[in-house]
Structure 1
Amino acid sequence: MRILIVITLIFCTTLVHGQDEKVNWLDFEQLEEALKKQPKKVMVYFYADWCAYCKKMDRSVFTKQDVIALLNDNYYTIKFNVESNDTIQFGGKTFTNKQFGKKRNPIHQIPEYLASRQNAEIELPATIILNEDFEIKKRFYRYISPTEMLSILKQN
């Protein structure tokens, strides 16, 4: 009987622990240090607090254990609010939000740099996939379902 209780406790602890796993989001400064130590693919996720599809991705994609495991094992991940007012040092350059306070929805320079398109504004959510050399491989400007996200991450 005691063995059955111990096995049940171990099983339940493993289930609860597995459900607590989260995406290991980094900031750009942490990313720069990590890339120096060990090159790895990068996924950058740009969002805004007002973006309904961004909130949907947070709830339905970045909470799935298979997505979390794939991201944490194979990618460095950045989650960045496009309206941030933070000053960021990355790649020997300084990035700011020069529009902050001047425009209703000010866009930071980092998403403008990584997610910009010719003759089109940034659409959210924006997901950028980069290779180990920090070269952009794919850009997505829409909601991505958990199944599609898995497919994208496995392809790159």
Structure 2
Amino acid sequence: MNKILTIGFIVCLFFSIGIANGQEISWTAIESLKDSLRSNPKPIMVFIHTDWCKYCKMQENITFQKPKVAGLLSKNFYCIKINAESEEELVFLGRKYKPGKTGDYHSLAKMLGTNNGRLLFPTTVFYAPLSQTFERLQGLQTAKVLERFFTEHGMEFDE
């Protein structure tokens, strides 16, 4: 019985330390993005994924859980998720996008994520509405790759 309590205590301590030290990305609902941009303009990070994509889950559960990455994204970007297989009509920056027909992906996912005629999962898009510029990173992005990307674009991490 004491072993079970000790193991339980260690597990709880481990998770509470992880939660206390970790940061989570502050995800913005796509429906509130336009109002958020109006009150506080900043770039947008769009994470395009599907439910079946293992690499998408890895990026969400590993890369986006790293404190440096999560902190920088939450501080400098509005972060939104788009399921490429969503069957809902989505409004992005005042424009309506329709779901794909059977066997096709959502028109917003295709518009933002397609590169050289291909849409890969996951795709991470960084978009600056004021300058109308964007960068598209296709495939699984590790924390190191994103940290290097941020550094190359002049973003600094909070220590």
Q: Which bin holds the TM-score, normalised by the shorter protein?
A: 0.7 to 0.9
- 1:117 maps to 115
What does residue 30 of structure 2 align with? Answer: 28
Q: Partners of 1:50 and 1:134 in 2: how far apart?
A: 34
Counterpart of 1:133 in structure 2 is 130
* Percent identical residues: 24
Provide the secondary structure at the position in 2 that maps to 1:26.
coil
Superposition pairs of residues 5-154 of structure 1, within 5 angstroms:
16-19=19-22, 21-99=23-101, 102-103=102-103, 106-118=104-116, 120-133=117-130, 135-154=132-151
- Displacement of 1:14: 8.2
Q: State the TM-score, normalizing by the size of structure 1.
A: 0.79
Shift of residue 33, structure 1, vs aligned partner: 1.1
Q: Distance in 2 between matches of 1:93 and 1:16?
A: 38
Please provide the CA RMSD for this pair: 2.0
Q: Distance in 2 between matches of 1:16 and 1:48?
A: 26
- Once the 2 structures are TM-superposed, how far is the Cα of residue 16 of structure 1 from its aligned partner? 4.3
Residue type at the aligned position of 2:90: I
Query: In the alignment, is the contact (CA less than 8 A) between 1:41 and 1:134 conserved in 2?
Result: no
Give the superposition deviation at 1:155. 3.1
In structure 1, what is the Cα distance between the partners aligned to 2:20 and 2:131?
33
Change (3 A) 1:16 1:128: closer
Measure how far apart 1:93 and its partner are.
2.0
- Equivalenced residue count is 138
The separation in 2 between residues aligned to 1:40 and 1:90, in whole angstroms, is 15
**In 2, Cα distance between equivalents of 1:46 and 1:129:** 11
Q: Deviations over 1:65-91 (max 9, x none)?
A: 111110111111111111011111233
**More moved, 87-96 vs 59-68:** 87-96
Paired with 2:18 and 2:47, the residues of 1 have a C-alpha distance of: 28
TM-score, with length taken from structure 2: 0.77
- Corresponding position of 2:13: none
